[in-house]
Amino acid sequence: MTSIRRLILFNNFAFAAPSLDLTLRGFCTRTAALDFTQVQITRLPTVVIIGRPNVGKSALFNRLIRRREALVYNTPDDHVTRDIREGVAKLGDLRFRVLDSAGLEAEASSGSILHRTASMTAKVLARSHFALFLTDARAGVHPLDLEVGKWLRKHAPQIKPIVAMNKSESLFDANDSLATAANEMCRLGFGDPVAISAETGIGMPDLYMSLRPLLENYMLRVSNDIDEGDHENNHDEDDNLDVDKSKLPLQLAIVGRPNVGKSTLLNALLQEDRVLVGPEAGLTRDAIRTQFEFQGRTIYLVDTAGWLQRTKQEKGAASLSIMQSRRSLLRAHIIALVLDAEEIVNARRSMKHAEVVIARRAVEEGRGLVVIVNKMDLLRGKHKSLSYEKVMEVVPQEIQTIIPQVTGIPVVFISALEGRGRTTVLNQVIDTYEKWCSRLPTARLNRWLQKAIIPSSLFVMSRHSWKDQAAQPKVKYFTQVKARPPTFVAFVRGKTQLSDTDIRFLTKSLKEDFDLGGIPIRIMQRSVTRKDTSGTNKTSHSAGRVVAERIVSDKRSVLVE
């Protein structure tokens, strides 16, 4: 009970402290046997948070990773978390992989969502090294807590969990309520509990002191695998500061309407049952982010909840899921839009309104787009009026008509349930990502420009007819200013600006000549004047500052510099 007494003494200071990091620093002053910050993430120990529903597991997960990633919502009649979420915990100088699991209910009926989530938790627990058994200090020992304890002994007898009493901030009073609750938690049979509050951060130093020896002992057991090679690799990475951006980790978001097979696709790409799947619509709530390797490339994969239009009737966890899906789209590099092949046949059209919104949002935000038509296995032997081959022919044409801003959008036809098309999807995603990161030399671009423009007294585009030759702008030169997505600047001599038609012509020519189909391209323009004989640059009024007008490129408003 020393930890409880120490926390009671610490309580008065905890509320007054400006930051708990300062408090944890005091616990880390002694010389550490191992610097966890220098260990590769894949070699860090794994700690899974388990417990009955609604005890604050996701809140503690967010506290440990120092970000609000997991959805947190008080739903006594429902359970928000359904999938296993993973992150890197930062507790003082400790680093470890932490997993947020769904609430456990031992008496859940077979085949139900709770029963399937318990099966997933059991598989993850078998691969984990340590466990945090979270309980509710205000409710005391709940019958479900005892059931979770029995479940732990059955499925993970090798793990002795650390019992953490969450929501302890309300038990600090003169009646020894905290000590009474701690004595009651000893009935679980896993030793003295640690009193914490995931919401306020109280008790994190005690949790640190409980985890530190366990994590250090684990790292000492595997210290033979941590050799000087890691440090040499780190030095090599520091020396190569100019890294090819196309080789950096790829952020891939799987989006689409509910029940089109997004989670099944994620499991197929990972080749393991990582997220919960089933016939129920809207099964996924959290945007699950996971990491894996494919052909030596690191890919961060995000499975989002079904994309719906947010309405006033949408409240609680459903509304939070919609907002989280939109944030995931903004953070991703490549968007994988999943369509349902059977719905395409039944509706006689490739994309519904919500899917068109997703695709156009991805293009407007400058993200690469890959369309994946799932459930192709359902079309075999059915729908003779619209055959399997006909769907593969019609869908790409219709998608190009619906989204004319980006030409050459790749479309992949798969069956995630059967595992067909995994390699094709990943190769197409990587190809689109490399185009998205491409950077073209200025000399090559200007050679291309000379082929597109025939010099004369006024520049005349060889593949483009001007309506008014006298008012034709003079393109001085062309250069790329950034990648991800490729962004170009056309330097135009004089005050006449390129029209929207001219911008579309240049965009189309770039995509055709440099194989940049399937990604958005942005073209800006800047007005410049001739240099005088003395070498002084007499630029126009708009050349040295941002021009207060907008031009359209790929149906997107871009501020001209």
Domains within the chain, CATH numbers bracketed: 2-238 (3.40.50.300), 243-436 (3.40.50.300), 442-559 (3.30.300.20)
> Is residue 416 scored above 60 in pLDDT?
yes
Determine phi and psi for 254, rounding to 5 degrees.
-95, 115
Query: 525 CB contacts (<8 Å, ≥6 apart)?
Result: 489, 490, 491, 492, 497, 498, 503, 551, 560
Q: Which residues of 328-339 are buried (b: 16+ CB within 10 A; e: fewer)?
A: bbeebbbbbbbb
Quote the pLDDT of residue 179.
85
d(CA 195, CA 144): 19
Only one residue has tokens 């597109």, namely 452
pLDDT digits over 325-363, tens only?
Answer: 666 677 889 999 999 998 998 888 889 888 898 899 889
Q: Residue 292's closest CA among 284, 283, 302? A: 302
Average pLDDT over residues 236-240: 43
Here the tokens at position 272 are 């393991």
Determine phi and psi for 404, rounding to 5 degrees.
-75, -10
**pLDDT band at residue 533, thresholds of 50, 70 and 90?**
very low
Here the tokens at position 143 are 């019958």
Average pLDDT over residues 383-388: 62
CB 65 within 8 A of CB 89: yes
Average pLDDT over residues 435-462: 75
Looking at the chain, the whole-number percentage of residues with pLDDT higher than 70 is 67
Q: Residue 345's closest CA among 403, 282, 413? A: 413
> Is residue 467 scored above 70 in pLDDT?
no
Residue scoring higher pLDDT (237 or 224): 224
Looking at the chain, the whole-number percentage of residues with pLDDT higher than 90 is 29
Here the tokens at position 513 are 């000549």
> Is residue 375 scored above 50 in pLDDT?
yes
SS3 491: strand
Q: Concatenated DSSP letters for 247-316?
A: GSPEEEEEE-STTSSHHHHHHHHHTS--S---SSTT---S-EEEEEEETTEEEEEEEPPPP----TT--T
Residue scoring higher pLDDT (359 or 110): 359
The CA-based diameter of the chain, rounded to the nearest angstrom, is: 94
Amino acid at 389: E
Q: Residue 193's closest CA among 25, 58, 5, 55? A: 5
Q: Concatenated DSSP letters for 383-408?
A: -TTS-HHHHHHHHHHHHHHH-TTSSS
Quote the pLDDT of residue 176.
72
CB 334 within 8 A of CB 381: no
d(CA 195, CA 435): 52
User: Strand locations in 92-138, DSSP E?
Assistant: 94-100, 130-136
Quote the pLDDT of residue 531.
61
Determine phi and psi for 369, rounding to 5 degrees.
-125, 130
Here the tokens at position 245 are 């951006």
Quote the pLDDT of residue 326.
67
d(CA 183, CA 174): 16
> Is residue 203 scored above 60 in pLDDT?
yes
Over its C-alpha atoms, the chain yields an Rg (Å, rounded) of: 29
d(CA 555, CA 552): 6
Determine phi and psi for 171, rounding to 5 degrees.
-105, 5
